[in-house]
Amino acid sequence: MSPRRGSLFGLDAGVKAGVIAAMRARPGRSAEPAPHRLDDEGRTSSRPDLRDHPLYRELLVQKLAADRLDIANPFFRVHERAAGHRTTIAGRDYVNFASYNYLDLVEHPAVVGAARTAIDTFGTSASASRPVGGERPVHAALEAAIARLHGTEAAVAFVSGHGTNVSVLGKLFGPRDLIVHDALAHNSIQVGAQLSGAARRAFAHNDPASCEAVLRSYRGRAERAIIVVEGLYSMDGDTPDLAAFVALARRFDAFLMVDEAHSVGTVGATGRGVAEHAGVAPAEVDIWMGTLSKSFAGCGGYVAGSSVLVDMLKFAAPGFLYSVGMPPPVAAASTAAIEILEAEPERPRRLQANGRAFVDSAKAHDLDVGRSEGFNVVPVIVKSSVLAARLSNWLFERGVNVQPILYPAVEEKAARLRFFVTCAHTPAELERAAALTAEGLRLLRR
């Protein structure tokens, strides 16, 4: 039975009433937290309880709702080997669409061998921040490879992809500045903008005209301005009109930053990202950001750009200055992965062919893939969080591992399954996944 339209999380009134009753029935807890009572000296007579924290209460509502609807938790499943286009969970083999291993390099002998050599030489950790603990040759090699890949003067690697955006935007911009970003920008971009204290304005997704309207209204009030877009949007699988955003940046005396987390290695004729795809010279973008955890078989983030930008970040960005250096085996593994991409451009070409094939198959089965352009990210939009969770579990029972994206990560009407396509998926795996998804959706909507 399908959930009623317009109901929160796709829950009808009866289920919501049951969840509220279950919360009220919790031993020792009430549905609403009790007010703190102070004595004459302003002290409380009890200890705060994290079970009364709004975040925990929100998680509890979701758990109770899932229990009442008999929906198994689709998250945090334990993988028993490296997760690529196939994986093993609880002893069973699955076709896997929940992995960032886009270029199938996590187990590549050259990547694994580079990591082992780095462990033998440098151990498992940098053991301190790089300014304090000193450099390792693997760090310089990684940053040189990143700069070469993006066609920039220099690059700097951070230990966290999320922390890269937070640290860069939070440090380079301040209360007298303006940050203009896509309405569907990643959480790390939004958090970094908030941290900066700059005026923050969103424009309609992938809409240069909307971005221009924002700049016309607010640019004159700001000392510095920056436009932030993504090379490929991680929820929708679409790319920006990069040339249009470059033109806007120049017209309004603004910097331009592109987050290539999901586009480097996957977009462009040789996988060099959205600049190659759009025919834009890399120097037209002021800040290239990317991650090593997707195409490059590692972990962490990076910024590529001018030597001036990189020098500033190395000496001032909190996420670099106050964080331990990237572990040597991770740096070595990602360097090897970049070198394989450069030597084997057929990997991104295979991925792109697979992405187009999956989109075509999904559309043939009347599935809604939204704005996906057929690269590595393909959503199947079902418009209900409950339905998305049930469909994910239904597919899991049939050997397909794909994760649901639920409210509040997306709007309830945009709840979906998100398929990550790799260069290693076979045509048969892609067709079967699309056909099963369509079958499951028909059955569960009855």
Q: How confident is the model at residue 2 (pLDDT cuts 50, 70, 90)?
A: very low
Closest by alpha carbon to 287, among 312, 255, 321?
255
* CA dist., res. 147 & res. 295, Å (int): 16
What pLDDT is stored for residue 446 in this prediction?
84
Task: Give 250-288 pLDDT, tens digit per residue.
Answer: 999 999 999 999 999 999 999 999 999 999 999 999 999
In order of 61, 191, 247, 439, the CA distances from 211 in angstroms are 37, 19, 11, 40
What pLDDT is stored for residue 5 in this prediction?
39
Other Cβ atoms less than 10 A from the Cβ of 160: the count is: 19
Backbone phi, then psi, for 168, in 5-degree steps?
Answer: -65, -50
Q: How confident is the model at residue 16 (pLDDT cuts 50, 70, 90)?
A: low
Q: How confident is the model at residue 49 (pLDDT cuts 50, 70, 90)?
A: confident
Say yes or no to pLDDT of 41 above 90: no
DSSP tag of 367: -
Task: Give 67-119 pLDDT, tens digit per residue.
Answer: 877 788 888 899 999 999 999 999 999 999 999 999 999 999 999 999 999 99
DSSP string, 402-428: -EEE-TTTS-GGG-EEEEE--TT--HH
Q: How confident is the model at residue 9 (pLDDT cuts 50, 70, 90)?
A: low
Q: Which CATH code fits 109-343?
A: 3.40.640.10
Burial class (CB in 10 A: 0-12, 13-18, 19+), 99: buried
DSSP tag of 129: -
Q: How confident is the model at residue 3 (pLDDT cuts 50, 70, 90)?
A: very low
Closest by alpha carbon to 340, among 99, 138, 112, 83?
112
Phi-psi region of 209 (alpha: psi -120 to 50; beta: other; left: phi over 0): alpha
Task: Give 297-306 pLDDT, tens digit per residue.
Answer: 999 999 999 9
- In the chain, what are the domain boundaries? 7-28+49-70, 86-100+345-444, 109-343
What pLDDT is stored for residue 23 in this prediction?
55
Structural tokens at position 59: 């998680």
The number of helix segments (H) and strand segments (E) in the chain equals 16, 13
Which residues are within 8 A (CB) of 210 and not within 5 positions of it... i.e. 6 or more apart?
203, 204
Q: State mean pLDDT over 331-350.
A: 98
Task: Give 361-384 pLDDT, tens digit per residue.
Answer: 999 999 999 999 999 999 999 999
Which residues are within 8 A (CB) of 234 and not within 5 positions of it... i.e. 6 or more apart?
186, 261, 262, 377
* CA dist., res. 293 & res. 83, Å (int): 13
Whole-model pTM above 0.85?
A: yes
- Look at the domain 86-100+345-444 and name its fold: Aspartate Aminotransferase, domain 1 (3.90.1150)
